[in-house]
Structure 1
Amino acid sequence: MGTEDNLKQLPLDDLHKAANARFGGFAGWSMPITYPLGVMKEHLHTREKAGLFDISHMQLFDVAGPQAAALLSRACPLDASALQTGQSKYTFFLNDKAGILDDLIVTRLGDEHFMVVANAGNAAADEAHLRGVAKGFDCKIDALDRVFLAIQGPQAVNVLRDTGIAGTDLAFMNGFEPKPGWFMSRSGYTGEDGFEIGLPEADARVLVEKLFADERVAWIGLAARDSLRLEAGLCLHGHDITPDYDPVDAGLLWAIAKPVRETAGFIGAAALLAKIATGSVKKRVGLKPDGRQPVRTDAELFDADGNKVGLVTSGGFGPSAGFPVAMGYVSKELSALGSKVFAEVRGNRVPVDIHSLPFTPHRYHKG
């Protein structure tokens, strides 16, 4: 968080002001937190129709050249050469201890051409890290200056199709370049079907105007983006995953293919393999507090005897679930579904059940 004076402005800041957004600081940016619809209705609108999110604070890196795949396979626990053209993959930057520096989506756009989508709060560090690893590799990294929009929800595909946008036939976790300067993938951060589109500002303004000619579309702010992703059991870097957690602790080992682990050519491989061998002492879990009061980030978790056994890393109310939802880490012996722990909330110990993730079913496009 920063003061309003030193926060970066989104390229479409004027459109959000015209929509009467309420702004706040996030990852160095002045971001729309809510619109007049309000967080509850914005959340439900996305689950029912089509929500439009301005995610231009996130960073796109264009990686191209003869050794682009080799670079990404070193920088991430990923076999970039095995990706089909158009295929997107969820992956990470790890440090030497296998701690998660950031989570990313890498899309193969051509034989020697990839797009990397990184989180806003880590954009500068990610760029420095990637350029550092790239020394000695024959490839070029461009940090792109793009407006980045996400349209999410069950009507997103129909809205885009009716707008005449190419790419509505994409499979989930696939992406392409519809036209020069554009990048589009079928992906998102809500648990719903949807698309993310990076494009030049002038094109973005035309697209937004077209999208808002459709009554199914509403602006959705950062607050509802957070409640949507939390219900969907998706991690927020800096909270649910950090350099202090590795993919084993976080339950994200599924994102690292077994052959990639066995080849062990990525940064942090030795530490990750050692962790897999020894197992984790803590585990990321879903948390469902008793009653209606949410438990918030950084609330400490205790067992029935009052021993500290974990920490809440994300928490709030789940408008679609209809009850408070949270995620966090607990000691492995208390991580089984139905186990009970107690969260410290304003001096009281609130009973919390270990709950399956996600809290609401994913509705990604399958066909």
Structure 2
Amino acid sequence: MQDKVRELQSRGSDVGLEVVDNALLALQGPTAARVLQAGVADDLRKLPFMTSAVMEVFGVPSCRVTRCGYTGEDGVEISVPVAGAVRLATALLGNPEVKLAGLAARDSLRLEAGLCLYGSDIDEHTTPVEGSLGWTLGRRRRAAMDFPGAAVIVPQLQGKVQRRRVGLTCEGAPMRPHSPILSAEGTVIGAVTSGCPSPCLKRNVAMGYVLSEYSRPGTPLLVQVRRQQQVAVVSKMPFVPTNYYTLK
């Protein structure tokens, strides 16, 4: 990385590189803000979803608190200097409402919320339209076509896209990544990219890509799970309603 910076500087670019040695703690859930408020002077009611501020948290200075997360719930992600990370985590865990959670718990939450996992549900070959992420492109940019990939993406926005990311629900065994998705007639039309049992819905949920003509919610499909074909239904996402904090 330093070599790249020096190369750019030799060409006259005003660039620099500063390594910030921070850890990231995610405090998520409907009572996350109330728990955190006990350790900060800032009024978290004024910090809506996708905004951030630098503040002292439970005595640890220079923490950047962002009202966001990867769970579909209200919560914060705290970028904390490494030297204070254990101290802050210990302070948070001192509240009986706060428990440690692993990646499997987070993965089921983000899937219930319909959130993509990079490398599984989207990658460098996925367009925003294929990934059902067209909302990330504003009207001005759509009209101006002044963004990388516009020549491909704008026609897709107009309905000319071969495949789309969809949500799926089914009974029986959980749908797993790479499981083939078939039409009701048995033709392979796509594949699962993420799947797990939903603790909230008490049934299996998944997302994957199918040919566009099969992407309408309510469409019955088949998913090949091991040696058996299970009936699945295209479902709207998020599977579980999100609970992001806004000022409205």
Alignment TM-score, normalising by the size of structure 2: 0.87
Change (3 A) 1:187 1:165: farther
CA separation in 1, counterparts of 2:13 and 2:146?
14
CA separation in 2, counterparts of 1:155 and 1:197?
16
Change (3 A) 1:319 1:138: same
> What's the Cα RMSD here?
2.3
| Residues 167 and 184 in structure 1, CA contact (< 8 A), matched pair in contact too | no
Q: Secondary structure at the match of 1:243?
A: coil
Change (3 A) 1:351 1:202: same
Q: Does 1:258 align with 2:139?
A: yes
Change (3 A) 1:194 1:329: same
Other-structure match for 1:162: 38
| Aligned residue among 68, 77, 97 for 1:216 | 97
Deviations 1:267-293 (A, max 9, x none): 33333224334621111111001x232
| Residues 286 and 354 in structure 1, CA contact (< 8 A), matched pair in contact too | yes
Q: Which amino acid aligns with 2:221?
A: V
CA separation in 2, counterparts of 1:137 and 1:309?
48
Other-structure match for 1:327: 207
Other-structure match for 2:66: 185
Deviation beyond 6 Å, 4+ runs, structure 1: none
Other-structure match for 1:84: none
CA separation in 1, counterparts of 2:105 and 2:80?
23
Q: Does 1:315 align with 2:218?
A: no
Superposition map of 1:133-144 within 5 A: 138-144=14-20
- 178-187 or 296-305, which moves further after superposition? 178-187
CA separation in 1, counterparts of 2:16 and 2:204?
45
Deviations 1:32-64 (A, max 9, x none): xxxxxxxxxxxxxxxxxxxxxxxxxxxxxxxxx
5+ residue gaps, structure 1: 1-123
Superposition map of 1:230-249 within 5 A: 230-249=111-130
Other-structure match for 1:226: 107
Percent identity, aligned pairs only, is 37
TM-aligned CA deviation for residue 321 of structure 1? 1.4
Superposition map of 1:1-367 within 5 A: 138-164=14-40, 166=42, 168-169=44-45, 170-178=47-55, 181-277=62-158, 279-289=160-170, 291-367=171-247
- 343-352 or 138-147, which moves further after superposition? 138-147
Q: Which amino acid aligns with 1:173?
A: M
Change (3 A) 1:334 1:228: same
Other-structure match for 1:67: none
TM-aligned CA deviation for residue 165 of structure 1? 5.7
5+ residue gaps, structure 2: none
Pick the structure with greater CA Rg. 2
| Residues 192 and 364 in structure 1, CA contact (< 8 A), matched pair in contact too | yes
Change (3 A) 1:146 1:303: same
| Residues 21 and 82 in structure 2, CA contact (< 8 A), matched pair in contact too | no
Q: Which amino acid aligns with 2:37?
A: R
Alignment TM-score, normalising by the size of structure 1: 0.60
TM-aligned CA deviation for residue 264 of structure 1? 3.6
Q: Which amino acid aligns with 1:271?
A: V
CA separation in 2, counterparts of 1:209 and 1:201?
13
Q: Which amino acid aligns with 1:273?
A: V
| Residues 192 and 362 in structure 1, CA contact (< 8 A), matched pair in contact too | yes
